[in-house]
Amino acid sequence: MTTATVAPHTGRHEAAHPGSPFTGVGSLLRLALRRDRVRLSVWIAALTLMMVYAPNAIKLAYPEEPQRLARVNLLKTPAGMILGGPMFGGNETDLGAMMANELMLTVIIAASILSILTVIRHTRAEEESGAAELVLSSVVGRYARTYAALILVGGVNAVLAVTMTLAMSATGFGIVDTAAMCLGITGVAMVFGAVAAVTAQLWRQARTATGAAMATLALAALVRGIGDVINNSGSALSWFSPIAWAQQMRSFVDLRWWPFALLVALAVGLMGLAAVLESRRQYDDGNIPSSGERPNARPITGVFGLHLTLQRGQTIGWTVGLFLGGLAFGSMTKSLLDAAKENPLLARVLTAQGTDGVYTTMTQFLAAAASAYVVGAVLRVYSDEESGLGEAVLAGAVSRWRWLLTAVAATLVGSVVLMFFAGLGNGLGAGITLGEPETIVRLTLAGLAYVPAMAVIAGFAALAVALRHAWIGWLAVTFVVVSLYLGALLRLPRWLIDLSPVGRTTVPTDFPAVALTVMVAVAAALTLCAGWIYRSRDAV
Amino acid sequence: MTAASLQRANTTRSQLAVEIRGLSKSFGRTKALDGLDLTVAPGDITGFLGPNGAGKSTTIRVLLGLLRADSGTVRLLGGDPWRDAVALHRRIAYVPGDVTLWPNLTGLQAIDFLARLRGNGVDTRRRDQLIERFELDPHKKARTYSKGNRQKVAIVAAFSTNAELYILDEPTSGLDPLMEKAFQICVQEVADRGAAVLLSSHILAEVEKLCDNVTIIRAGRAVKSGTLEELRHLMRTTIAVRTRDDAVALQQVPYVHDFTSQDGYARFSVDRNDLDFTMEHLTELGIDELTVTPASLEDLFLREYQGADR
């Protein structure tokens, strides 16, 4: 032991290299771990358990070869391709290959979202709230906060790679292929952590930076999906998306390691870019200047107007995203019908349900995405309460009822816009490729039929605000997405899947008038209940 | 309370702008307010003072109907602040001590919106006059404002309404001395037209200049309240004296407090009512040198803040 060299260092804040940009990274890292100990533990535990639960669920659901083959054939359809991953031929019914194909994308997206949220939370959000000012006034290097956030995310992903590999290989998968799959997942997550570090330098608001990073993730998923629809084992387009790189490691089929090097190179490159961008900006400033003066800003006439104004940016961003998503989904209808000619299973499904079944599933997926917008918009009432903005409004002649109900109403207006354009995009995509103009109107109206389901979600979000537990709202979104996307895969009981308002809306296959009426009633009851609780609790 | 002030309290009871009796509020095991009494009469500016964490902001939030009182009675302009919050808020204006604004709205949008929330119209002439008085650039986005400028936005929004009661929670924090002066003019103006003002502040000069009445709270209860004049009267006067005969004899006199003696120089404090006796006593001893210092407000506040017994 070389005790002699470390003896003089006793100062609490003493740095090894005074003045280096890394000074204080250690303390910041400890602070971050202390702040996030529960949050990160829950995420890591959930993702790890997923790796144990999913293979067992598949094994139970598809015990025999023919059943698995049917499942694989179903996933060879364009929608299956987009929501799963590329197929490389060979032993397709092997459980490992099925996992890599079906589960990988979900876990990649979840882990990437975790990375994005964590990086922004410890970089731009701190600057915006002003907490970083206190930190930077002490012995901390100018760029230490960004480095600390990236090291934290790196650590989280390393832990995830280890726990997920151990969990999955414990259920009987080959450890090398499992490790490759889990490293691919965490590699992509690291890339998007680095993307968030870049967007945090570009924009001044944490919300915008998060939104931009999430949009990049959505774009990457879409590019990968369309690329793989073009060619089921990955076309040139697929390779523009880092998500494809992880899937192209071909775990359990034909393992190769070099795509992982691409992920590492991109992550390191983006981190370098973030460092360069950070050195070019000042504290609490963005590389993209934010507009300052607006002499002709329109007056805000009331609480409802305030909600609409504050949500405008979010609504526009989501509308564009869902319109493009709808367009992409819709345009795949043609290739789906073509695929049915060679895929007997698909042909059977199509003759049973017609193309309407496909349209319904597509619209349901768009609505599930919109539910995240709904919850985010309603929960702003809660974050405004935390930041003190709500106090200013409630000190005016505004009742709690009005403040919460107008938030829900403004969100519903936003979701009408969202679902209209999502349906329009879907209709345009399908109508133009199939040459059926009437489909455009039909699918646009189908999109609007999901507004009652959005109202139910908004009711849950309002309840989350009233009870001061934001997670209730996000739980509703998670439930809608999981029941729709993984419901069959995870073998969730039928009654549980049927609880999802989005799943219960089966337009345009049929028009469930009773279910829609019940949804409107449930939404109203939830919102009124939330309003009543909100009225009788302390509001600061 | 003196007889006069009791009588006044009785006659104006029905019209009091703020009337709090025995208010208690707990957060979990923390007792934020513990039997607080506070009144504000129309046309009066009442100073609301106390050390940090004494419960000032909690009281104000109860008055705004944001928090629900655990026990005690709270009347605001004759109504119940929790039940009638919306109707009452039309008649009051509020400036918080730490103003948060929507970062992507301009200052003018925020002012108009906040003033419009009161629901009885915005006096745009008054608003523009105030914007000018406070030298605020209203077209900037709120995220570019400093703390002082955000404070100005809230002050302009509050004072451009025609409220009956102004609740001000450390409103001048972050303002420069010139702006503090402009603020004091605003407060004086609204009080002159008969509005009631509850001013929570730590700036003693501001309190001394503006307030008719003062309530000092500590640990959630009012420890002193009355007019500034009454409070001053309650304070002991400090006397420093050099006498020809030995002044040590004074130490035995019951109304003399805090007696110290050094080099023939005696220093002690007495209640104002006992000044006559003290002077007689001193004359008997023969006065060489005499300094009589009335209690300053600062002494009063420091004493109450520290929780010393009178």
Dihedral sign computed on CA atoms, order A351, A354, A359, A360: negative
Q: Judge if A278 and A321 occupy the same domain.
A: no
What count of residues does chain A have?
Answer: 540
pLDDT of residue A493: 86
Q: Which of B25, B109, B144, B155 to mutate to test the interface with A (most CBs of A within 10 A)?
A: B109
Q: Which residue range is the domain that position A210 belongs to?
A: 22-289
Counting one residue from chain A and one from chain B, the pairs whose CB atoms sit within 8 A come to: 99
Q: Are residues A434 and A330 in the same domain?
A: yes
Output DSSP code: residue B120: S
Model confidence at A8: pLDDT above 60:
no
What pLDDT is attached to residue B6?
42
Q: Per the CB < 8 Å rule, is B109 touching A299?
A: yes
Each residue's pLDDT tens digit, B256-305: 888 888 887 888 888 878 888 888 888 888 888 888 888 777 777 787 88
| B157 contacts B115 by C-beta, under 8 angstroms | yes
What's the confidence (pLDDT) of residue A2?
40
pTM: 0.77
Does residue A440 belong to any structural domain of this protein? yes
In the CATH scheme, what is the code of domain B236-294? 3.30.70.260
Across A59-82, average pLDDT: 81
pLDDT above 70 for A300: yes
Q: Are residues A517 and A400 both part of a single domain?
A: yes
Q: pLDDT band at A18, cuts 50/70/90?
A: low
CA distance A133 to chain B (A): 14
Q: pLDDT of A506-530, one tens digit each?
A: 888 889 999 999 999 999 999 999 9
Q: What is the pLDDT of residues B211-253, one digit of tens each?
A: 999 999 999 999 889 888 888 777 788 888 888 888 787 888 8
| Residue range(s) of every CATH 3.30.70.260 domain in chain B | 236-294
Chain A nearest C-alpha distance from B91 (Å): 9
Task: Compute the CA torsion angle B81, B83, B88, B94 (nearest 10 deg).
Answer: 50
pLDDT at A241 > cutoff 80? yes
Q: Distances in Å between the alpha carbon of A499 and those of A261, A503, A505?
A: 43, 8, 11
CA pair distance B262, A526, nearest whole angstrom: 77
Instruction: Give me the number of domains chain A comprises.
Output: 2
A58 to chain B, closest Cα gap in Å: 48
Least confident interval from A119-128, A345-354, A481-490, B131-140: A345-354
A295 found inside a domain: no
Q: A362 and A235, same structural domain?
A: no
**Residue B217 has what pLDDT?**
92
Domain boundary among A269, A289, A309: A289
Tell me: do A332 and A374 sit in the same domain.
Answer: yes
Are A138 and A88 within one domain? yes
Q: B117 and A391: CB-CB below 8 Å?
A: no
Does any domain span residue A4? Answer: no
User: A258, A289, A320 — which closes off a domain?
Assistant: A289
In this structure, what token pair is assigned to residue B283? 């004359």
Asked, for residue A294, whether it belongs to a domain, the answer is no
Per-residue model confidence (pLDDT) at position B282: 87
Same-domain pairing of A411 and A495: yes
Residues of A near B (Cβ–Cβ under 8 Å) read 204-205, 290-295, 297-303, 306, 309-310, 313, 387-389, 391-400, 402, 536-540
Whether residue A6 is contained in a domain is answered as no
| Among the ranges given (A125-129, A460-464, A517-521, B69-73), the one the predictor scored with the smallest mean pLDDT | A125-129
| Distance from the A478 Cα atom to the nearest Cα atom in chain B, whole angstroms | 29
Return the minimum-mean-pLDDT range out of A333-342, A384-393, B194-203, B276-285. Answer: A333-342
CB contact under 8 A, A538 and B114: no
Which residue in chain B has the smallest CA separation from A389? B100
Quick one: average pLDDT of B78-90? 89
Residue A322 sits in the same domain as residue A189 = no
Taking contacts as CB-CB distances below 8 angstroms, the residues of chain A near B100 are 387-389, 391-392
**Nearest residue of chain A to residue B117 (CA atoms):** A396
Lowest mean pLDDT among A106-115, B170-179, B199-208: B199-208
Give yes or no for residue A123 having a pLDDT over 90.
yes
Quick one: closest CA in A to B168, which residue? Answer: A395
Q: Verify whether the Cβ–Cβ distance A392 to B141 is below 8 Å.
A: no
> Which residues of B lie closer than 8 Å to A, measured between beta carbons?
61, 64-68, 85-87, 89-90, 92, 94, 96, 98-106, 108-109, 112-114, 116-119, 139-141, 143-144, 154
Superfamily of domain B3-232: P-loop containing nucleotide triphosphate hydrolases (3.40.50.300)
The mean of the pLDDT values for chain A is 88
Give yes or no: residues A40 and A174 share one domain.
yes
In the numeric block, the tokens 């308002």 are attached to: A501
Which of A260, A289, A318 terminates a domain? The answer is A289
Q: Do B141 and A303 touch (CB under 8 A)?
A: no
DSSP string, A347-364: HHHHHHHHHHHHHHHHHH
* CA nearest to A301 within chain B: B113
Query: Do A245 and A384 have their domain in common?
Result: no
> Does residue A370 fall inside a structural domain?
yes
Helix (H) or strand (E) holding A473: helix A470-485
Same domain for A471 and A344: yes
* A191 and A312 inside one domain: no
Give ipTM to 2 decimals: 0.72
Cα–Cα distance for residue pair B73/B35, rounded to 1 Å? 10
- Average of per-residue pLDDT values in chain B: 86
How much is the pLDDT for A491?
Answer: 75
pLDDT digits (tens, 9 = 90+) for A255-269: 999 999 999 999 999
